[in-house]
A and B are shown apart, each in its own frame.
Chain A
């Protein structure tokens, strides 16, 4: 790593040396201008758009969190009433707990599965390119479309129960997505299935940067498979772990469409998350103020966990 970095640094310093050399000023200046392609103000339209579409819209939405607006007509500023209502309502508290369970559950299981697959498909297997594509496919497919396929699989008259009946376990057949105990786990299975491929790709990118020589040296020194993974591979792919887990948590906290398609938040709120509650409150039940307040809470939670996650997994504590 150091060996490859050195020439680049020297190359970057070369014009500075050249500038000091007598008679080389003209050439150096023209090169310098060539490197200064672009001006900061070229970004202004983009900044303005991001500001207007993203931050102003979010700010206006945030304002409505402090009102009783129903989504139509006049409204009154009600202060923190909507936020108080969130923490007094057991459905919302349940949604918060489901959100955290699904986010952390899908990150943990999805990343472990993704890492195992990435390690397995890293170098050895001949069909690894085909398998990589197959494992990555769920990330490319529409979450809504695949959720409907999963819904069919978990349906009471669906293939899963038919399989259980066929192997003589018919007494275990149940409406998986409407069972208060099983529904949340069923949703978790679908989320893990859809997030594994993404984690796998990030880990494969990380594994590509692990020098084979170091692994070989560790093996020659007598390190077994687990020791090589624990002391050589894992420290080397730590940035990949940070990226995969952070993105996974952000994605997991705001998951919406698979749950709406699978259970709609049911049975009786058993799989409700903050995102589905935001939609229901704001757009289905005419409580736009309450929905906006929930959205703010969700944004704060995402920010909190994203920052914590970044701090825990950064490779250099001084970063």
Chain B
């Protein structure tokens, strides 16, 4: 009996000691991590999405801030890109989101500013953020004239090209008809003009939107406003129909690599890095990551050629990411100080260089020559660009209908009309 009691005590101790230790450690870490410092703390946390092993430009900028301000401590909370939206929403609702969160303008994504601001999760920002608003995009950074996000950089959404492979193939096609011809030539030599991730909705959606640039938004930059006012529909738009029919044209001309319908993003990376594909429909900032990963290759940004003689070359360039302050933050002053510092021209330029993007301020005097953006410099200077369309769409279901629909067009499951009708249905 005594032995039994002793062994029971030993068992109890064996369970209790680690439990108490764990509780104590949790308690310790909680108190250390707790940053309740309404009394002017210079400590704050920052959440951002990551999609590769390359250090996030948001983190690099924040580290620069800590270097310049040794008394500031920033806790980084990187999240995988595919689960970032849901994590951000859950944390905001639970009241434990980071003090500064990276958001996107508009309402087309889970991290979009408008629904988060309307739900009261974001702190209104001051005039510094207002001054950084890209022209014509104020409505996507907050309702009722208020601003809830500070734009970080101008991201071009066009084609990223392997310039070495382009030179090897001759010249980059000047119009859409020449593009079809080049596709056929490249296909016969075992290469492709485009590397497509047909199984990755973000890529198929961006491909279709790029095709719509010259066919829809070059002719009518306010098309989204008209759609919101129910003056037009996707299914009734000749431009949108032409854009989705062009997906079939590109497929039939052999513009995509073999097996494109089932390919992931790795097919784009592999194709562009090896030069077996000349271009990909990916955010322009990827040129920098590709160049750093592929020694000796040169990557650039180009616009998708418009139809012959239309003179409607057009691309998307907009602030796709923003810094927002969590309305429930206890370190708002420290967060605002960081945003004020990040808004300085020196920092916006530095961030653009780190990110491989264009600076959110001073674009008029930006020197495009010699850089990755030299082929789109004229279009930007001439104002032939607009915001990425889905930023202005009311929900993410519209983009999903487009992205999955394009895959359906490539596999022959859907017609352009069916996809456009699905987009109208998703718009609501």
Contact = CB atoms under 8 A, between A and B. Distances in A.
B411 A180 contact: yes
A157 B259 contact: yes
Contacts of B261: 175, 178-179, 267
Given A72-B121, A264-B199, A285-B396, A156 B259 contact: yes
Given A157-B259, A177-B262, A268 B110 contact: no
A177 B407 contact: no
A284 B86 CA distance: 7
Contacts of B407: 178, 266-268
A263 B262 CA distance: 8
A79 B147 CA distance: 35
B179 to A, nearest CB: 24
B238 to A, nearest CB: 24
Contacts of A287: 397
Contact of A176 (B110, B118, B262, B414): B262
Contacts of B92: 72
B200 to A, nearest CB: 8
Contacts of A156: 258-259, 262-263
A72 B119 contact: yes
Given A72-B89, A268-B404, A269-B404, A178 B414 contact: no
Interface of A is mostly: loop
Given A175-B259, A176-B262, A177-B199, A73 B119 contact: yes
Contact of A285 (B258, B263, B400, B411): B400
A287 B394 CA distance: 13
A130 B287 CA distance: 51
B395 A286 contact: yes
B413 A283 contact: no
A184 B201 CA distance: 19
B78 interface: no
Contact of B414 (A71, A155, A174, A268): A268
A178 B404 contact: no
Contacts of B262: 155-156, 175-179, 267
A70 interface: yes
Contacts of B258: 156
Contacts of B120: 73
Interface of A: 70-74, 155-157, 174-180, 263-264, 266-270, 280, 283-287
8 contacts: A70-B115, A178-B259, A179-B262, A266-B407, A267-B407, A268-B414, A270-B413, A284-B110
Given A73-B120, A286-B115, 20 more contacts: A70-B115, A71-B110, A72-B119, A156-B259, A175-B262, A177-B199, A178-B199, A180-B412, A180-B413, A263-B199, A264-B201, A267-B262, A267-B407, A267-B408, A268-B408, A280-B400, A283-B86, A284-B85, A286-B110, A287-B397
Interface of B: 85-86, 89, 92-93, 110, 115-116, 118-121, 198-199, 201, 258-263, 395-397, 400, 404-405, 407-408, 410-414
